[in-house]
Amino acid sequence: MTKGTTKRMIIMLIIAAIVLGGVVWFQSFKTTMIAKAIKGMANPPQTVSTTVARESSWQPTVEALGNLRASQEATLSAEVSGLVTAIDFDSGQKVHAGQPLVELNPSPLKAQLAQLEAQAALAELNLKRDAAQLKVQAVSQAVVDTDAAALKSAQAQVAAQKALIAQKTISAPFSGQLGIRQVNLGQYLAPGTATVTLQRLDPMEIDFTVPQNQIDLIHLGMKAQVETSAAPGKAYEATVTAIEPQVDTATRNLKVRARLPNPNGTLLPGLFATVRVSEGQPRDYITLPNAAVSYNPYGATVFVVKTQGKGPDGKPAFVAEQRFITTGPTRGDQVAVLKGVQSGETVVTAGQLKLRNGSPILVNNSVEPANSPNPQVPNS
């Protein structure tokens, strides 16, 4: 083999190696680009809105919905049967305790009472006569004792008869305002038949419930503000008078009762009202909009925005980091975060449903969620 032939073979091998290397590089480059394209298509950046978690001062307040009720209420009915012979009230009338309202026919009982009173009077005379005879030893002590027992028995029968006659009269058990009359003159009433309702409207009471995570804010004697649409623009001051000693296992709420004055009778039983109870000194909480929190059976979560390098345009690239948090009280559109988020961290407020831990994101805060501590209902 000549030198020229050897040289040409070497050149050909070099060219073949270069071509082969180029093919391998091209295939590797193409595979890498396809992988990047697939990755980009599988996890494209998601557009979200964000807010910065800030620490703010809160007055610990319990806000609940409740129902007003009379401090005393009763449906008055007859204990015994009888014919209505007198009605001594009008619908809606104010009455005092002990005032007679309805009378059933007592004539047969009164006639029997006269007979029993006569028997009691005779028993008393017999006792006096025999007691005098005993002093001169004309009768025995046993006779006097029998006369005394007979007198007591007769007097007891008289008292029982008077109690039966009293049952023929329906009286007001306490002072208050009557409802609509449900009985008429001459009507026969069976035992337990309702005749009228009686309500004591001053003071009033309101029953409301408190969630278990706010039980520590409620105690006897504390003040509360009550507002109702029946008296717009007016707040009534109430005092907590009773707290249920157990939590409802169905709702995990605690039942509370408060009492409030109602001298003008503006408030009526059954009205729907809002109760606000404030306790202690203001506290500092990390605050987020309610929209930023995802409430799940396994706990509440948020997505915190983290910086991860730079994007193709040279600007910082952001990813979402999912965190479990512990929430506290709420006010308006805001919720307090007790654990999981620090002041100054950026949190996603919209678009969470598209995210998972580590998802790339684009921030667009042109539209922000409601974040008012005291939202107002717009006028219609």
What CA–CA distance (Å, rounded) separates 52 from 304?
10
- Helix intervals (H) in the chain: 3-42, 107-135, 141-166
Q: How far is CA 105 from CA 31, 57, 160, 188, in A?
A: 107, 69, 17, 10
Reduced to 3 states (helix: H, G, I; strand: E, B; else coil), residue 250 is: coil
Task: Tell me how crowded residue 78 is: count the other CB atoms within 10 A of its CB.
Answer: 21
What CA–CA distance (Å, rounded) separates 281 from 217?
11
For domain 46-57+283-363, give its CATH number from 2.40.420.20, 3.30.70.360, 3.65.10.10, 2.60.120.1440. Answer: 2.40.420.20
Instruction: Evaluate whether 48 touches 348 at the Cβ level (below 8 Å).
Output: yes
DSSP result, 58-83: E--EEEEEEEEEEEEEEEEE-SS-EE
Instruction: Evaluate whether 196 touches 89 at the Cβ level (below 8 Å).
Output: yes
Instruction: Evaluate whether 179 touches 196 at the Cβ level (below 8 Å).
Output: yes
Q: What pLDDT, on the 0 to 100 scale, is given for residue 269? A: 92
Domain boundaries, the chain: 46-57+283-363, 62-70+201-278, 106-167
Domain 62-70+201-278: what homologous superfamily?
Answer: Efflux pump adaptor protein, beta barrel domain (2.40.30.170)
What CA–CA distance (Å, rounded) separates 158 from 153?
9
**Pairing, β 194-211 against β 176-178:** antiparallel
What CA–CA distance (Å, rounded) separates 180 from 320?
65
Residues 6+ apart with CB under 8 A from 323: 301, 302, 303, 304, 340, 341
Class of domain 106-167: mainly alpha
Nearest 5°: phi and psi at 112?
A: -65, -30
Task: Tell me how crowded residue 132 is: count the other CB atoms within 10 A of its CB.
Answer: 12
Q: What pLDDT, on the 0 to 100 scale, is given for residue 2? A: 61
**pLDDT tens for residues 140-198?**
888 888 888 988 998 899 899 888 888 889 999 999 999 999 999 999 999 989 999 99
Strands lying side by side in the sheet with 100-104: 169-171, 100-104, 82-87, 188-189
Q: Is the peptide bond before 211 cis (omega within 30 degrees of 0)?
A: no
277 token code pair: 């109870």
Q: What pLDDT, on the 0 to 100 scale, is given for residue 380? A: 41
Q: What is the mean pLDDT of each run of 10 residues along the chain (380 residues)?
A: 66 73 68 56 77 85 88 91 91 92 89 87 86 80 86 90 88 93 91 92 92 84 89 89 91 92 89 85 87 89 87 78 89 87 91 86 83 62
Instruction: Evaluate whether 286 touches 336 at the Cβ level (below 8 Å).
Output: yes
What CA–CA distance (Å, rounded) separates 104 from 95?
19
Instruction: Evaluate whether 333 touches 373 at the Cβ level (below 8 Å).
Output: yes
Q: What is the DSSP letter of 379?
A: P
Q: How far is CA 134 from CA 128, 137, 139, 143, 144, in A?
A: 10, 5, 5, 9, 8
What CA–CA distance (Å, rounded) separates 113 from 157?
9
